[in-house]
Chains A and B, each alone.
Chain A
Amino acid sequence: MPYTPELKESIKAVERTRPERVALKKRGGEFPMMSLAEREAMLRYHPDYKEEGRRALLVGPSKGYRVAHEFADILEAWSRVKPEAVDLSTVAIETDVLVIGGGGAGTSAAILAAENGAKVLIATKLRHGDANTMMAEGGIQAATKIDKDSPYYHYLDAMGGGHFRGDPDLVYTLAMEAPLVIAWLEKLGMMFDKFPDGRMKSIHGGGTSRKRMHSAGDITGAEIMRTIRDEARNKSNISVIEYSPIVELILNEHGQCYGALMYNLETEEYFIVKAHATILATGGSGRLHIQGFMTTNHYGATADGLALGYRAGVPVTLLHTVQYHPTGAVYPEQAEGLLITEKFRGAGANLVNINGQQFVNEREPRDIESSCCIRECLERGLGIPTPAGKVGIWLDSPMIDMLSGEGTVQREFPGKYILFKRYDIDISKEPMLIYPTLHYQNGGLKIKATCETNVPGLFAAGEVTGGVHGENRLMGNSLLDVLVFGRIAGKNAAIYVKEKAQEGRPTLEHVVRFNKELAEAGIPPERVSPMLLPDYTDPETRKRQLTSHYLGTLR
């Protein structure tokens, strides 16, 4: 699907202003960055700031907290099972550590738990590795060049990017552990972008004061995921059960996490998994399509862990903000929502409107970039209309070859280059049409820097948690988050198994209690979570589906 004649015409405006914009950069000049006050004023265009998009939670440990309706629908929802009907006496699988989720956080947790002597089971809803980690493109932050950078600057950037709302202990841990994670990955054989002498290449991301973004082409997350997954597969004390989500946590009489109720998506059986420690690493929630936005997230990003943890008594924090990645593809239609990595902007590509004008520096934090794109399109009417009736902004990728030499786009962004070539678009010669897309769950379950929750024996790590990124995550801090906290969760869970876990009678009393609250709040009975999988059936077809051989979202 190459660009239509109308779009090609619009590209001419981008081409007219390009030489001047490239020349400015070559002179060391920049489109002015905003002050903190200007940024704060710009945020009123951000979807998070629409009060009608949220409501106060009626039940649970964070009752009264205002979150997006889509989150509230997941948190204020009934269990998929009747707690009274579950036979808790028959344990199907017993393990030391149960890891819920097979993405970056879950896999690194599993490896560390196994290395600390625990027998580990990973229960995952899709395949091991089908996760947002796999899709992360641009890079992973770490202050590894200590002649100009240190955890001090990394801390400052992460705090400031998150509107100073991050949890200081979590941000401290993130920044301090970062170089250790990079060294771990290097040892495991990840192919980082390096100079011939082994020095790592590192670039800027939005909101970084130092170039500390490490990468592996434009598939950094995939390279991390496939490397650690391969390592996990070598460990004889890690087993993986795929297509088997957890639908409820089980506690014991002492209030510790006893394990979980696992559901086999294919055979529709439920199993009791007994674990001495449990790690929630279920990832994010883009498939909830908050405020109707498209998403970059993988198929299973349905906030399952939030529902599980919340019902077991873990509060949520900083969930009032979600991240809209400024640059999701809006053209061609079949690539809609697809992530266009921030690395393009890190490498110098401007964002320009229908007149070819730049309206924001391309390295502002993500919430600011998104707000500016939304304002440009919806308030100023300077977006570029697409054939499908949407609107977008040009991301001027050809600038990169002009700044850093012919062939740079193809070399540095092989994934995107091939993908767009399939649609007859050469992104080293033509810009990409983008619009903000739902990308990351900034907040989530409340944890300590040890990854403990307030439920003994229940740990959490990665996107399901909140506090590491404040109200807005910076590029390159999510791949870092999943590995830093995944590793900590795995290690601490293994220690917990040895030192603190107690035998006790299993119970779903917490679900019974939660049900009572739901009934009192008048929550409709058809509202059930976790969602497990989204439903994209054509509405006309769905009308004819009178019964549901259950494959995902309950009908």
Chain B
Amino acid sequence: MTTKPNEKKPKMIPIFIMGKRFEVPETLTIMKAMEYAGFKFIRGCGCRGGICGACATVYRKAGDYKLLSGLACQTVVEPNMYLAQIPFYPANRATFDFSQMTPAPEEIFKLYPEIFRCVACNSCTKVCPMDVDVMDVIANLKRGDITRAAELSFSCIQCGLCASRCMGELPQYHIAQLARRIYGSLIAPRAKHLEEAVKTIASGKYEDCVRELMNLDEATLRKIYQEQEMEPEMTGEEWAPKDKKCL
């Protein structure tokens, strides 16, 4: 039941992989083009879907001094691209006991004093393949606004390109990770209904009714499944079911 492969011969273009010339179909991503050419990745290839940050790539186009960057799995090849991957960047990551963490900005300053080496050159923001305003993340942290830094850095995939271009030698992506964890755990209000659910499960309230389901024959289970009440799609948080079984 596969769909039909493309029968047309694709147009081939020249690209330079770490300086060496190859001809590849013009529609491919950098990653697929390198594989097409015969390279087999160990490093520099992860999810192939633009979210894991394994395939950070820098490139230049012939005749242009400008250094460009992107994810190899997301960027389409262009003629005369000169490309190299940065599969690993040796950025500093501080270790800490998160259970002792407090929501004070000083916690971050203590673990990452280099944050004040930022000279606001904006190279990090320019290089980010996820359009995160990295410099603004750092600026907010310096001001002590962990919440804003967490929100701004939410799309970070930790590819490390920011750190690779930073003249202050900051590991922005590790710093932002810490900010997000502090925000998620210690600044954003905890969910009360969740705490209640955990307590109720521990009380054993659901034990009998779930065990009852486990012991039913398939026909009865099917019937209950088929007849169960559905929460309507367009209702808000206030909806309550008529059937209160096991609630």
Contact = CB atoms under 8 A, between A and B. Distances in A.
Interface in B35-54: 35-38, 40-43, 45-52, 54
Contact of A374 (B1, B52, B95, B154): B1
A189 B180 contact: yes
A168 B97 contact: no
B184 A26 contact: no
Interface in B213-247: 213-214, 218, 221-222, 224-226, 228-234, 237, 239-241, 245-247
B162 interface: no
Is chain B's binding surface mostly helix, strand, loop or mixed? loop
Contacts of A194: 188-189, 191
A233 interface: yes
Interface residues of A, number: 111
A531 to B, nearest CB: 12
A243 interface: yes
Interface stretch (B116-124, B134-142, B192-200): B192-200
Interface in B74-120: 74, 76, 93, 95-98
Contact of B197 (A146, A334, A338, A363): A146
Contact of A191 (B1, B183, B192, B210): B183
A148 B51 contact: no
Contacts of A189: 98, 180-186
Contact of B226 (A35, A153, A204): A35
Contacts of B40: 533, 535, 537, 551-552
Contacts of A130: 46-47, 52, 54
Given A47-B1, A146-B247, A183-B194, A234 B210 contact: no
B69 to A, nearest CB: 13
Contact of B191 (A153, A200, A233, A334): A200
A395 B37 CA distance: 34
Interface stretch (A9-17, A59-67, A289-297): A289-297
A132 to B, nearest CB: 8
Contacts of A180: 198, 201
Nearest to B208: A152
Nearest to A50: B1
B51 to A, nearest CB: 5
6 contacts: A28-B232, A144-B194, A199-B237, A298-B47, A537-B40, A541-B37
Given A164-B221, A189-B183, 6 more contacts: A134-B46, A146-B200, A159-B221, A189-B98, A222-B52, A227-B184
Interface of A: 1, 25-26, 28, 30, 35-36, 47, 50, 126-127, 129-130, 134-135, 142-153, 155-157, 159-160, 164, 168-169, 172, 175-176, 179-180, 182-183, 186-192, 194, 196-200, 204, 209-211, 216-217, 219, 222, 226-227, 230-231, 233-234, 236, 243, 265-266, 291-293, 296, 298-300, 330, 333-334, 338-339, 348, 363, 374, 377-378, 388-391, 403, 414-415, 418-419, 422, 435, 533, 535-538, 541-542, 545, 551-552
Across the A-B interface, the 5 shortest Cβ-Cβ residue pairs? A189-B181, A198-B189, A152-B246, A189-B185, A130-B46
